[in-house]
Structure 1
Amino acid sequence: MSEHPLRQQLHNEIHARPFERVGAPAQVSHQVMLVSPSESQQAFEHLSELLGNLHLPPPAMGSMFHTEQIGPVRLRWERHGEFVSYTFITHEALGPEDPLFERCACDRVSAEWLARIPGQRLCANHVAVMPEGELGCDTLPDFSAVLDIDALVGSDVADGHAQVFTDLRIAPDGFTRFIVLSKAMSARRRGRLVQRLLEIETYRLLSLLTLPVARELTPQLNRYEQDLVSIMDAIGSNGGAEDAEPNRDHKTLDRLTLLASAVEGVYAASHGRFTAANAYYDLVNRRVTELHEKPIFGLQTIGQFLERRLAPAMQTCAWAARRQQALSERVSRCSNLLRTRVEVAMQQQNRSLLASMNRRQFLQLRLQQTVEGLSVAAITYYMASLVGHLFEAAEPWLHIKPKLAEGISIPIIALIVWIALQRMHHRLERASEAR
């Protein structure tokens, strides 16, 4: 029995990128770097450099995922299509006097190595995970030292087994902060919760990368739509003489072709970004749903906050994409309309040209018939003259007057010449039909 060569790879895909075990207390630092294809390879080599310096086994060549324990920190490295993520997890407990986020998980790794990570940082988060009993949950905990209370959002998550608080703002250290108060739950489930929070922020920012593109497209689309209206007015107008109409339509078609080229160029440049935004936004909604949020303390939940701000931004992107698609379709319809008009004008020109050719051919036929009549007369004259000369020479023997013989031969010669011309016409017609 033969197996499909991709069976193992496809089967193991469901086990790829497993969730990390996260205890309580724990500190998690997460960074997402936007990378080009060359920078993605540099990120792999950069990771290999870190592990080599620490005498740890390097990741497999071409690996898209790698985890390693580096002293007290667990490093989780993931490579995706357009970004690379770094997650640092440590379970070192804070001292009673240590404020939250004073010392984070990524601080345990070489600062020089962190500074040289390839790519551009798009997303950075700190997550502090602690047992619920440390702060208590009967009243809203006081997070004013680390979070903006005016922007605080929070909710019960994981079916009431944990609470999450955040202000979704970038702190002075460049990181967004999350606080997770965890009840008794398994480390795997706690890891899934933290991973979902990190993915919500990651995919939220990745989807929002399309918003500036949509805003930049708006004035371009306005200009293209105005150009299209101008072209449609030119198509609908009847001004100009009939002989100038085809030239005017060709000029309009040139304008429309340039507009179509510009619209399709913009569409090709931005379509991938709009498609990615839809995919990332769908992932955000899925991860929010998986949190199983319930409101607490009168705060907005994470899902409610994102719905208020992220959904309008995504609607703006979707509107720009639909507008772009509609403009492309309108330009295509306009092109078809104008091409049809040009083709009709060309057909009218062809009909006029054929009518003119028919008239000229008729005149040529008439002229040919006139020439043929003159030819019959000329040939008859010369042949009759030859007959007259012949009878003039033979008069002593035939005793027929030459002029009489010449006169009698004229109708006979004319009839013979005419019949010969008619037979020649019939042969030419049959030859033409045979072709």
Structure 2
Amino acid sequence: MTLPRNHPQRLVLNDEVHARPPEALSAPLRLSFLALTSAVGDHERQSAEIAALASQFGAVPPAPGANHYSADLGRFRVKWERHTEFSRYTFMAEGLEGDGFDRPAIDLVPAAWRDSLSGEVIVAAHVAFLAATGAEADFEALSARHFGGNVLVGGAVGGGAALAVTDFRVHGDGFSRFLVEDRSLTPRQAGRMIQRLLEIDTYRMMALLALPVARDLGGALTASERELAGIASALAGLGVADEAALLDRLTTLEAEIESRHTETLFRFGASTAYYALVQRRIAELREMRLPGLQTIEEFLERRLTPAMQTCQAVAARQASLSQRVAHASQLLSTRVEIARQGQAQILLQSMDRRARLQLRLQETVEGLSVAAVTYYVVSLVGHLAEGLEASGVHLQPKLIEALAIPVVALLAFLGVRRIRRSVARDAE
């Protein structure tokens, strides 16, 4: 049967649900885990580094652009996964030596390769996966032997199919420790269970990256809130002359707040997403309480949840401040605009009065001009009549002047009006 043309992403999307499958693990086994944060360019370098490790042991390297890879390198197995902000390396070796943490799996990895890894360590952990002993666990003895006497958290996981304990502390070698005892896990179940424990530790740390940001931001938010409160108080008794200066002050504050909001938005959003993953993985553990032992869920609920609530509160506080300063800026901008419109209206009224005054002045000047022209022209007519009378022509100069006045005045008026209309047309 021939199908229509495939969507270009069909196979990629179908295989996505099968990506990063958990390893099949059987006790006894020791495991070392690294999570390294990734900066710009680290993804490409990390891909090249895992390919170099595979080539060093004669294994097939990952395909170009691959986001995950696993291989059996003989003395140990390696699994590499690339995520948006970090990459995970898991090294697994069969058997346990000493107390389970004496010779961890990462010691089998070439030191030169290990030391050249790109990125910064955010999580480093050893896991000792023990076969079932059948004896009841003595948590005080386990703590003294494996965890330096620290208080342990954990319990029966997988509905009682395994025991998992940790102290969530970084030990002298730079690694935290998990001890898992197999009771009735299948290899695939064991792989998923250990992966969940390591993901809880990883996502916990990634979620907490927002906590220093929240703490540093608290003082800046307090200062901004005080500045906004001062501006809001000044708005009530503000004079027109001070509005523009206050608007500049408010605009500067708004720019500072938006800059901080933009810089921290991703970190707070990522923290929320990572915390949700922690909670999901804890639920998937299906923990059962054991006497004298605090569960992982209880421990993180008391220690991690308050930190996440702090981050969420600071993020909400910042978002609220951004909205309030935007509202205040809009309000003040409206006031300034209304004031400017009022000033413009006053200016237009003043210009209108000046125009009317200028028109009246112009009409007065035009009237005076007509009178002056009439006076001089009539005077000329009078002089002309007197001259003709002196030459023997019988005329009455005064009568001629009197008769010329209305004629000359009318002609002068018409001439001035024609000139004014011509000037008005040119102005248009």
TM-score w.r.t. the length of structure 1 is 0.90
Query: What do residues 224-249 of structure 1 show as CA deviations (whole Å, max 9, x unaligned)?
Result: 112222222332224xxx6xx32x22
Which residue, 12, 17, 22 being the options, matches 1:9? 12
Query: What do residues 24-82 of structure 1 show as CA deviations (whole Å, max 9, x unaligned)?
Result: 22222111111212233222222222222222222222221111111131100111112
1:406 and 2:409 matched:
no
Q: Tell me if the contact between 2:35 and 2:202 (Cα under 8 Å) persists in the aligned partners.
A: yes
State the AA in 2 paired with 1:200.
I
1:53 and 2:56 matched:
yes
Which residue, 367, 371, 379 being the options, matches 1:377? 371
Work out the CA distance in 2 between the residues paired with 1:249 and 1:33: 52
Work out the CA distance in 1 between the residues paired with 2:113 and 2:420: 99
Match of 2:207 in 1: 207
Which residue, 252, 267, 273 being the options, matches 1:258? 252
State the AA in 2 paired with 1:116.
S
1:156 and 2:151 matched:
no
Q: 1:90 to 1:135 in 2, by over 3 A?
A: farther
Match of 1:231 in 2: 231
After TM superposition, the structure 1 = structure 2 runs for residues 300-311 of structure 1, keeping only pairs within 5 Å, are 300-311=294-305
Which residue, 37, 47, 71 being the options, matches 1:68? 71
Work out the CA distance in 2 between the residues paired with 1:177 and 1:208: 19
SS in 2 for 1:294: coil
Following TM superposition, by how much is the alpha carbon of 1:428 offset from its aligned partner in structure 2, in angstroms? 7.0
Match of 1:296 in 2: 290
Q: Tell me if the contact between 1:139 and 1:297 (Cα under 8 Å) persists in the aligned partners.
A: no
Following TM superposition, by how much is the alpha carbon of 1:135 offset from its aligned partner in structure 2, in angstroms? 5.1
After TM superposition, the structure 1 = structure 2 runs for residues 25-44 of structure 1, keeping only pairs within 5 Å, are 25-44=28-47
After TM superposition, the structure 1 = structure 2 runs for residues 410-425 of structure 1, keeping only pairs within 5 Å, are 410-419=405-414, 421=416
Q: Tell me if the contact between 1:129 and 1:182 (Cα under 8 Å) persists in the aligned partners.
A: yes
Following TM superposition, by how much is the alpha carbon of 1:282 offset from its aligned partner in structure 2, in angstroms? 0.9
Q: Tell me if the contact between 2:139 and 2:152 (Cα under 8 Å) persists in the aligned partners.
A: no
Match of 1:178 in 2: 178
Match of 2:136 in 1: 137
Match of 1:367 in 2: 361
Work out the CA distance in 1 between the residues paired with 2:77 and 2:332: 65
Identical aligned pairs, as a percentage? 42
Work out the CA distance in 1 between the residues paired with 2:118 and 2:422: 88
After the TM superposition, list the runs of 4 or more consecutive aligned residues in structure 1 that deviate by more than 4 angstroms. Answer: 138-141, 389-399, 419-429
Work out the CA distance in 2 between the residues paired with 1:232 and 1:319: 23
Work out the CA distance in 2 between the residues paired with 1:55 and 1:304: 46
Work out the CA distance in 2 between the residues paired with 1:391 and 1:202: 120
SS in 1 for 2:65: coil
Work out the CA distance in 2 between the residues paired with 1:128 and 1:393: 140
Query: What do residues 73-103 of structure 1 show as CA deviations (whole Å, max 9, x unaligned)?
Result: 1100111112111101122255xxx312122
State the AA in 2 paired with 1:55.
G
Q: Tell me if the contact between 1:135 and 1:141 (Cα under 8 Å) persists in the aligned partners.
A: no
After TM superposition, the structure 1 = structure 2 runs for residues 94-133 of structure 1, keeping only pairs within 5 Å, are 94=97, 98-132=98-132
1:348 and 2:347 matched:
no
1:387 and 2:386 matched:
no
State the AA in 1 paired with 2:21.
P
More displaced stretch, 166-175 vs 284-293: 166-175
Work out the CA distance in 2 between the residues paired with 1:372 and 1:200: 96
More displaced stretch, 41-50 vs 122-131: 41-50
Match of 2:190 in 1: 190
Which residue, 249, 256, 260 being the options, matches 2:243? 249
Query: What do residues 126-175 of structure 1 show as CA deviations (whole Å, max 9, x unaligned)?
Result: 1222233x152377573131136652112222122222111111222222
Q: Tell me if the contact between 2:96 and 2:128 (Cα under 8 Å) persists in the aligned partners.
A: no
1:273 and 2:267 matched:
yes
TM-score w.r.t. the length of structure 2 is 0.91
1:91 and 2:94 matched:
yes
Work out the CA distance in 2 between the residues paired with 1:72 and 1:184: 27
SS in 2 for 1:145: helix
State the AA in 1 paired with 2:357.
L
Structure 1 residue ranges without an equivalent (≥5): none
Following TM superposition, by how much is the alpha carbon of 1:286 offset from its aligned partner in structure 2, in angstroms? 0.9
State the AA in 1 paired with 2:176.
T
State the AA in 1 paired with 2:274.
Y
